[in-house]
């Protein structure tokens, strides 16, 4: 096999690329691209059981031509933190498409590739049409192991025990379909996701994630400039470089979607009957959220909004019909069936909580060094403490209280790892289900 060796560049003080190997089964070419890389972004998301990424490299040695890149080639990434006693992170991606190929001069191309984790690409090559029975966590674990060679770490507290026939889906589609049926006994949804650190898939419920302690209780991520002048290096790197908070607090859309006050009818086809469920976001959801997260007792909805003297949450603003089941199996629930009205209500609570969680997202950009230790996963599914100052110009910064609404213990919902030659940053998309107790 022909090897293309490129001279290693300098690297950020936070990380080093051990190697970035391009491999293809079609041609007798392999290349270590690490010297030619201009930047790499790796994306993690709680809603995706696989990673995605983008890679840009400067091609001045005919790599694109020699490898005849068509999409389907492998990129094997080996990266390491420059902190002492850390291990190499190894991830395998497939090139899913070429995003851009531009010439900066006659002898230099800038190639921008879209990457997708290997399990997503190989999943796309397979099909499942098979019956499964048991807890959702057991079914997902079987599919992951048998088709993708992956172990699944799970809290194993999913309530549903079902029998299904996977209807011609690829393995990742099948696992996501099963996951969407799962809740805990309190109605918390489950997330199936892949992480940059670690090889296993994770299948964890929201209640478990938001009840975990924050990773940084003493040295918080702060959004004030004086923090960058601290003598503490940890405090300096936890200064928020920039943030975005937009398209938030959209109560109108939540009402329109039946997630504040609504009536549901779950129709049982075989019996010609229906089970009626009344949903009240305050009684059915927010009271449990406050109990689970007592440090942030102000939930994202309170029953103080009134129409004709009636709280919004008590108004049946939507009437929604769902197919509840058809008793296909004599002694086993099918995909859409539940045993009782209370269990059907769990589905409604689960859907509402999934959307409420995204009501006030916050995106912050910080130094990435705390997120690249190969022995310790610290990104999506973990909690961090973030602080903003109150907006009162008459109070000195060193005496100003924090903004109780913007500050909080946030769940990391998505991460973009941005590796550039000069530095390594992460963009964290964070969510929370409550605010700190406010001053009166």
281-334 confidence digits (pLDDT tens): 999 999 888 888 888 988 889 899 999 999 999 999 999 988 776 666 666 777
% the chain with pLDDT above 90:
58
Q: What is the mean pLDDT of residues 194-217?
A: 94
The single-letter DSSP state of residue 294 is T
Rounded (to 5) percent helix, strand, coil in the chain: 20, 40, 40
Tokens 């090559």 belong to which residue? 125
User: What distance, in Å, lies between the first and last C-alpha atoms of the chain?
Assistant: 71
Does pLDDT of 63 surpass 90?
no
Cα 179 to Cα 409: distance, rounded to the nearest angstrom:
26
Q: What is the mean pLDDT of residues 10-21?
A: 79
Contacts 24+ apart (CB under 8 A), 232-241: 237/366, 237/367, 237/369, 237/370, 238/366, 238/367, 238/370, 239/366, 240/364, 240/365, 240/366, 240/386, 241/364, 241/365, 241/366, 241/367, 241/425
CA 29 to chain centre: 35
pLDDT of residue 83: 82
Which 3 state secondary structure label does DSSP give 135? strand
pLDDT of residue 396: 65
68/256: higher pLDDT: 256
pLDDT of residue 331: 66
Q: How high is the mean pLDDT of the chain?
A: 88
Q: 36-45, 113-122, 339-348, 349-358: which has the minimum mean pLDDT?
A: 339-348
227/198: higher pLDDT: 198
Task: Give the pLDDT band (50/70/90) at residue 269.
Answer: confident
Q: E strands within 353-407?
A: 362-367, 383-387
Does pLDDT of 40 surpass 50?
yes
pLDDT of residue 225: 66
The single-letter DSSP state of residue 333 is B
Does pLDDT of 260 surpass 90?
yes
pLDDT of residue 366: 94
321/416: higher pLDDT: 416
% the chain with pLDDT above 70:
92
Does pLDDT of 6 surpass 60?
no
pLDDT of residue 429: 97
162/269: higher pLDDT: 162
Half-sphere exposure of residue 162, counting CA atoms within 13 Å on the CB side?
Answer: 26
Q: What is the mean pLDDT of residues 66-70?
A: 86
pLDDT of residue 383: 96
Q: What is the mean pLDDT of residues 60-64?
A: 85
What topology does CATH give the domain 2-122? Answer: Thrombin, subunit H (2.40.10)
pLDDT of residue 228: 61
Cα Rg of the chain, angstroms: 25
Tokens 């531009």 belong to which residue? 102
Cα 70 to Cα 72: distance, rounded to the nearest angstrom:
7
Q: 94-108, 228-242, 411-425: which has the minimum mean pLDDT?
A: 228-242
Q: Taking Cα atoms as reference points, which of 116, 128, 78 lies closest to residue 194?
A: 116
Q: Is 143 exposed, middle or buried (0-12, 13-18, 19+ CB in 10 A)?
A: buried
Is the domain spanning 126-211 CATH 3.30.70? The answer is no
């Amino acid at each position: 096999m022909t090897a293309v060796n490129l001279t290693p560049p300098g690297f950020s003080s936070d990380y080093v690329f051990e190697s970035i190997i391009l491999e293809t089964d079609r041609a007798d070419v392999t290349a270590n691209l690490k010297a030619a890389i201009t930047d790499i972004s790796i994306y993690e998301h709680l809603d995706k059981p696989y990673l995605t990424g983008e890679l840009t490299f400067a091609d001045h040695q005919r790599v694109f031509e020699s490898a005849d890149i068509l999409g389907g080639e492998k990129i094997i990434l080996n990266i390491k933190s420059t902190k002492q006693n850390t291990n190499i992170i190894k991830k395998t991606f497939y090139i899913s498409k070429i995003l851009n190929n531009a010439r900066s001069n006659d002898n230099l191309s800038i190639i921008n590739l879209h990457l997708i984790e290997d399990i997503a690409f190989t999943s796309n090559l397979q099909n499942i049409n098979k019956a499964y029975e048991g807890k959702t966590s057991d079914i997902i674990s079987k599919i992951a192991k048998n088709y993708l060679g992956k172990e699944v770490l799970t809290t194993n507290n999913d309530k549903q025990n079902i029998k299904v026939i996977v209807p011609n889906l690829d393995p990742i589609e099948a696992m996501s379909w099963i996951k969407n049926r799962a809740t805990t006994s309190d109605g918390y949804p489950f997330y199936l996701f892949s992480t940059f650190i670690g090889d296993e898939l994770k299948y964890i419920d929201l209640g478990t994630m938001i009840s975990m302690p924050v990773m940084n209780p003493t040295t918080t991520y702060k959004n004030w400039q004086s923090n960058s002048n601290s003598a503490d290096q940890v405090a300096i790197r936890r200064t928020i470089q920039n943030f975005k908070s937009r398209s938030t607090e959209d109560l109108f859309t939540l009402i329109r979607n039946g997630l504040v006050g609504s009536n549901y009818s779950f129709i049982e086809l075989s019996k010609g009957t229906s089970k009626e469920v009344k949903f009240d976001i305050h009684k059915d959801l927010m009271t449990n959220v406050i109990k689970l997260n007592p440090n942030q007792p102000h939930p994202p909805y309170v029953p103080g909004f009134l129409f004709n003297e009636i709280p919004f949450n008590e108004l049946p603003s939507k009437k929604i019909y769902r197919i509840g089941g058809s008793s296909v199996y004599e002694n086993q629930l099918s995909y859409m069936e539940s045993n009782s009205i209370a269990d059907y209500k769990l589905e409604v609570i689960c859907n509402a909580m999934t959307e409420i969680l995204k009501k006030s997202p916050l995106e912050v950009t910080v130094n990435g060094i705390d997120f690249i230790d190969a022995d310790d996963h610290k990104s999506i599914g973990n909690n961090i403490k973030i602080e903003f100052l109150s907006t009162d110009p008459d109070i000195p910064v060193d005496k100003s209280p924090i903004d109780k609404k913007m500050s909080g213990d946030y769940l990391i919902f998505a991460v973009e790892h941005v590796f550039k030659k000069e530095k390594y940053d992460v963009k964290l998309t964070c969510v929370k289900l409550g605010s700190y107790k406010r001053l009166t």
